[in-house]
Chains A and B, each alone.
Chain A
Amino acid sequence: MQLSTKHLLGIKDLLPSDISLILSTAQQFKEVLQRPIKKVPSLRDVTIVNLFYENSTRTRISFELAEKRLSADTINFAASSSSAKKGETLLDTVHNILSMKVDMVVMRHSASGAPHFLSQHLPNTAIVNAGDGINEHPTQALLDAFSIVEKTGSLEGRKVLLIGDIMHSRVALSNMYLLKKMGAEVMLSGPPTLIPKYVQQAFDVQVEYNLKKALKWCDVANVLRIQLERQNQVLFSSLREYNLAYGVTRKLLNEVNKEILIMHPGPINRGVEIDSDVADSNQSVILKQVENGVAVRMAVLYLLSGKKELSH
């Protein structure tokens, strides 16, 4: 029983059986997290470095908690306070860290493909992608899937709507790979300027520019963050106009009048892509997603650590 891959670079590389294994293992870790002592000794012999070349609250804390709950030793590295500022290359930084006997690397980087580059140079170290540029954010898609299964029972045949900035969203890309692999139906909605032209053919997904129609279709709506830091060009006229056309509001949900599960990967821009009375409602599982994130990341780290050779 093991994953078909040594690293978790993206959902793209996973088999449906890998995804099922991660989700079922996460289910057991979720139970561990309810115990009086929320810790297991599985990774006592493993040291993990968290390399964060890009800011993060949820993902970094979630990974660190997951590592600690597995009894791994952890080192945290934030690029902003490191020698990367002095001009050290990514590969040099990582080689230096690994020479201190580190077994796994969790990395977030603003450059798409950075973890893939590392994996080519470090074949014996397990690398976990915690988000690379506008490419993938695999653990987010896995925790989204876990949350959908937890609330609705399965992914097969589930109608999932991704709303917003599909173009710049690594969450959207990882979700599309995962949902399609697991037999869910996917629809995209958002301003035409934020939905890539060939995505429909590439992923066999539907596109619906009218949000109300899209909401009527779906069982689950995953509301993506408008990524202000990745908007180099003006792709929509203003945040207020975005909210009017694509913001998920109470009024809109009342008009649709359907039990839709509302998800958001965070951080939320309240009043832009989602209104507070939706984000904080009973329909929303946004904080459940965060809770599930720890269990899912424990499963990923546990399953990847199993591949390690004893003598190194």
Chain B
Amino acid sequence: MQILLSTEQLHLTIKRLSLQLIENQADMADVVFVGIQPRGVQIGNRIMEAIAASTGGNSPQYGLLDITFYRDDIREELHEAKETTITQSIEGKKVILIDDVLYTGRTIRAALDALQDFGRPQKVELCVLVNRRFNRELPIQPDYYGIAIDTKPNQKVKVEWDREEVVIY
């Protein structure tokens, strides 16, 4: 096991991501952040806190999205469905998807499908904490990422939220 991001580095990375996200928006009112269940929730919550802290306590629009029913491997294995809390319309809005690790890209593919059922966003972007390059199975790339790493398919990358570390093993 190797530590990719220590607690201190993780805090700095989240801070940087949140500032990049603020910097890139002309108007936060037109942006809806969407954390992907289950592992995009923690990083999503942290980024929302960091954005609120940097913008004088203004919490951006934020919801959770479960992609279980849109997966392309349903016939191989069923996953537990978690709650979806997108209550506002995303019609004409800019949606920024948030997940912890971008690996094959299949989760994001499913999330893009699922988003369609809530309306037609003006634009969709992707923000991830860890970008595992060279393992993509679909043509999907992040717009914002905390750290980019080169990994082999047999390696695992995990964000340990209780210890606040990103590890690879």
Residues of A at the B interface (CB closer than 8 Å) are 1-2, 24-25, 27-29, 31-32, 35-42, 45, 302-303, 305-306, 308, 310
Contacts and interface: CB of A to CB of B under 8 A. Distances in A.
> Which of B74, B78, B81, B83: most chain A Cβ within 10 A?
B81
B81 A28 contact: yes
B92 interface: no
Given A35-B118, A36-B118, A39-B117, A306 B66 contact: no
Contacts of B68: 28
B3 to A, nearest CB: 31
A40 B70 contact: yes
Interface of chain B, helix or strand or loop or mixed? loop
Interface of B: 66, 68-70, 74-84, 89, 113-114, 116-119
Contact of B78 (A2, A27, A39): A2
A38 B114 CA distance: 11
A24 B114 CA distance: 20
A41 B75 contact: no
A1 B78 contact: yes
Contacts of B74: 42, 305-306
A28 B83 contact: yes
29 contacts: A1-B78, A1-B79, A1-B80, A2-B78, A25-B80, A25-B81, A28-B66, A28-B68, A28-B84, A31-B83, A31-B84, A35-B117, A36-B117, A36-B118, A37-B118, A38-B117, A40-B69, A40-B114, A40-B117, A41-B70, A41-B113, A42-B69, A42-B74, A45-B75, A306-B74, A306-B77, A306-B78, A308-B75, A310-B75
Contact of B82 (A2, A28, A41): A28
Contacts of B83: 27-28, 31
Given A28-B84, A31-B83, A40-B69, A306 B75 contact: yes
A132 B144 CA distance: 56
Nearest to A307: B78
A288 B103 CA distance: 42
